[in-house]
Structure 1
Amino acid sequence: MSNHEHQETAHRPVKRNGMSRRQFLSYTLGGAGAFMGAGMILPMVRFAVDPILQKKETGTFVKVVEASKITNEPQEFKFKIHQVDGWYISDPELTAWISKDSQGKMFALSPVCKHLGCTIGWNTEKNNQYVCPCHGAHYTQEGKNLVVAPKPLDEYELKVENEWIYLGPVMPNTRFK
């Protein structure tokens, strides 16, 4: 090795295989910052996602009226349901029109018009039909759409137990397809 080559290698910095002090501090501070950031963000994510992860209750039935009070003429009955929507808990009051069909089978219709969501009334025009006061939709006693509305009225799931009528969730009308 010549003198000149020796001088060049003497002035070159020594290459180390390890980590520099700057890299060590960078990694340490970056890791600590990420750990603290995750500690702050994880509770927020959990708060937002937790209601989605909770098990949904199956359709619960609500006791509404004694079965002996139901006639062939539709009657309006109000009832409350217990509702949990995320962290919001409420007990809204719902309405159902309950009657018997020509075979004596009981059914309950939702009062929500299928045209634009107004509340229908029974026999308001003395024509033995459900009528929407807002836009003039008409339905038969069993909920079949006659004028304006595109679909029949929805119905509640209904069961009779111990001479009481219980109503469940709303479903599309099963009488008309």
Structure 2
Amino acid sequence: MNDAKHKHSSEQPTTRREMSRRQFLSYALGGTTAFMAAGVTIPMIRFAVDPILQPTGAGDFVKVVEESKITNEPKSFKFQIHQVDGWYESDIELEAWIMKDEKGAVYALSPVCKHLGCTVNWNADTRYPNQFFCPCHEAHYTKEGKNLAVAPLPLDEYKIKIESGFVYLGKVQPNQHVTK
């Protein structure tokens, strides 16, 4: 019997750790606050990230003009594209100088001067006949868009495709008709 007493006396009584009211309220209040903060934060994060996840119209082409209206002489054509900047959508008007090269291939140049972004015009100055001219700082370019003075780079050109007798323009890209 002595051994039985020693066995029981050497064992520690099990203690139950109970949560106090203060701990319970702290956990409940903390959990509720976290839940409410997540409810507010998650939609804000989705709102900020959503435009990045939307597909872009990177390869979209816009119908601009009938191919039969294109000549060797550069002509200005205006067209509209639908643009999405984050959450703001708009239709903007762009312009292109469209013409044929010596081989009869159609190409389109951007009218944006590569010097400071002014707009160039064809045959706009009598000192530079048959050239694109920028009135801001007198930059001028050949018919192919090669920079002759002031501007550091040739005029950009639009990606182009001809389909069913119409000229379609895509994104602006560096000029492929001239070498630097």
TM-score normalised according to structure 2 size: 0.85
Structure 2 counterparts to residues 78-157 of structure 1, below 5 A:
78-126=78-126, 127-157=129-159
Point out where structure 2 has 5 or more consecutive residues left out of the alignment.
Answer: 1-14
How far 1:76 sits from its partner (Å)?
Answer: 0.5
RMSD, matched Cα: 1.4
Q: In the alignment, which residue of structure 2 is the partner of 1:10? A: none
Alpha-carbon separation, structure 1, partners of 2:36 and 2:69 = 64
Alpha-carbon separation, structure 2, partners of 1:36 and 1:49 = 21
Q: In the alignment, which residue of structure 2 is the partner of 1:26? A: 26
Name segments (4+ residues, structure 1) moved above 3 Å: none
What is the letter of the counterpart of residue 36 of structure 2? M
Alpha-carbon separation, structure 2, partners of 1:56 and 1:69 = 31
Structure 2 counterparts to residues 3-82 of structure 1, below 5 A:
17-82=17-82
Secondary structure of the equivalent of 2:18? coil
Point out where structure 1 has 5 or more consecutive residues left out of the alignment.
Answer: 1-14
Alpha-carbon separation, structure 2, partners of 1:140 and 1:147 = 10
How far 1:45 sits from its partner (Å)?
Answer: 1.5
How far 1:83 sits from its partner (Å)?
Answer: 1.6
How far 1:64 sits from its partner (Å)?
Answer: 0.9
1:53-92: CA deviation from partner (whole Å, max 9, x where unpaired): 1122232111111111111110011111122223322111
Q: How many residues align?
A: 163
1:83-105: CA deviation from partner (whole Å, max 9, x where unpaired): 22233221111100011111111
The answer on whether the counterparts of 2:144 and 2:178 sit within 8 Å (CA) in structure 1 is no
Q: Which moved more, 1:107-116 or 1:41-50?
A: 41-50
How far 1:16 sits from its partner (Å)?
Answer: 5.7
Secondary structure of the equivalent of 2:151? coil
Secondary structure of the equivalent of 1:169? strand
**Identity of counterpart residues, as a percentage?**
67
1:29-67: CA deviation from partner (whole Å, max 9, x where unpaired): 111111111111211121111111112223211111111
Secondary structure of the equivalent of 2:167? strand
Alpha-carbon separation, structure 1, partners of 2:40 and 2:91 = 35
